[in-house]
Chain A
């Protein structure tokens, strides 16, 4: 990249005729030279280069130069790497993406295209890693935002980028988090039930044969059905029992197709056998429940 930028710098100097153009190219080149100078401590070099390129970009010629915006993006990215690599809210990183985006738009000859895209992929990777480490009950909103930025970067870097496996992975983990949060307090966190349900369904739409999403969605419904019954007071009126049974039955019925799907994908997985035994039992379909009970016993014997 160093050679490429240097060649471009010289070309810019020789080919431009106007004073201002030379001045802007000169400043941009200076920023490049500073940020790549191995004799200047990295921190100092990056800070200096950032100041230089910020001034240079104000020049009207630079404003239209793909190269200037590319260098600015690069310097900002380096600043982020040097000073803010642990700052998930780094504005410098977001700015770098914006500058690379401008550079791509201005780069009619595609001269810097490949390098800009590589840089965008790198930044995308940092957003993804941040999303992965933020996916927790208290910070998942940040994870969602970072994941969105990851997608933006990757699609800028490679418009045909296949997001599907990333979507499946991220959304599965996110759905699990919503489900876990719902389970921690089913009365207070009803919204998380809805989010988990919707997100598991998104995963299943992307990947019909996703065992984890099918199983966990089935368990989300099944456990909720059991919770509805368990939350009932034994002193509840007889009318209430009818309503509670209806509510629970709705959840058990919703669980069934996903549990059956998970079973078809992993018929020897004990957890799904136990789940199906429970779901059928809860629906008072005792024969089917017993079928799965027998399968569990057989599986236990085989082990």
Chain B
């Protein structure tokens, strides 16, 4: 009989770093999804004039931003009633043309808001921005961060100015801006 039985405890072949949790998807895309879902909801709770209910439902994105691609991926197969979404990218305010139901101005292009307001005068375009204070400067809806969440400010006057009708449901969920 063997006198000593040696201890053969083997370490786990697998190290403590065996499985590395992947770092999540690009957080930009999660943020884009939340904004896109809000925008989709705006189309449900805001009513455009009759002449805007034909053809595609156009969302313009001003400037070069990844949000354009995200929005295209998320909404291009969806509809507003019978209208298909069409996402357009405009490189400048001057290039904005045709019917545009929604015009989104990314934070980095916020300085063009005054030009956009001039350009869109008399049209029923919902102007959406995402920089603090812009709902007071003419945008209808302004994405803001509140308590680590994406929310939106709404300036009812700026919406109605463009002959758009907003439901009380949406108004109730917005941060009101006078």
Q: Among A180, A219, A229, point to the contact of B33 (Cβ < 8 A).
A: A229
Q: Does B177 contact A (CB under 8 A)?
A: no
Given A241-B41, A249-B149, A284-B149: A216 in contact with B20 (beta carbons within 8 A): yes
| Nearest-neighbor residue (CB-CB) of B3 within chain A | A1
Other-chain contact of B37, A213, A223, A236 (Cβ < 8 Å): A236
Query: Which one of A230, A234, A278 lies within 8 Å of B78 (CB-CB)?
Result: A234
Q: Which residues of B are found within 8 Å of A173, using beta-carbon distances?
A: 12, 14, 16, 18
User: Smallest CB–CB gap between B19 and chain A, Å?
Assistant: 4
Instruction: Count B-side interface residues using an 8 Å CB cutoff.
Output: 48
Once bound together, how far apart are the Cα atoms of A119 and B36, in whole Å? 66
When A125-B10, A282-B27 are in contact, do A2 and B3 touch as well, CB less than 8 Å? yes
Give the distance to chain B from A74, nearest Cβ to Cβ, in Å.
Answer: 7
Pick the residue among A5, A122, A242, A282 that contacts B30 (CB under 8 A): A282
Tell me whether B150 is interfacial, beta carbon within 8 Å.
Answer: yes
Instruction: Decide: A278 and B24 in contact? CB cutoff 8 A.
Output: yes
Residues B10 and A219 in contact, CB atoms below 8 Å apart: no
State whether the Cβ of A132 lies closer than 8 Å to any Cβ in chain B. yes
CB closest chain-B residue, reference A177:
B19
Can you list 17 A-B contacts with CB-CB less than 8 angstroms, sorted by A residue number? A1-B3, A2-B1, A2-B2, A119-B5, A135-B14, A172-B18, A173-B14, A173-B16, A215-B21, A220-B21, A226-B30, A227-B24, A230-B33, A233-B37, A237-B41, A241-B37, A282-B27
Residue numbers of B with Cβ under 8 A of A are: 1-14, 16-31, 33-34, 36-38, 40-41, 45, 74-75, 78, 145, 148-150, 169-170, 173
A interface, CB within 8 angstroms of B: 1-5, 32, 35-36, 74, 115, 118-119, 121-122, 124-126, 128-129, 132, 135, 168-170, 172-173, 176-177, 179-180, 183, 210, 212-213, 215-216, 219-220, 222-223, 225-227, 229-230, 232-239, 241-242, 245-246, 248-249, 252-253, 271, 274-275, 277-278, 281-285, 289
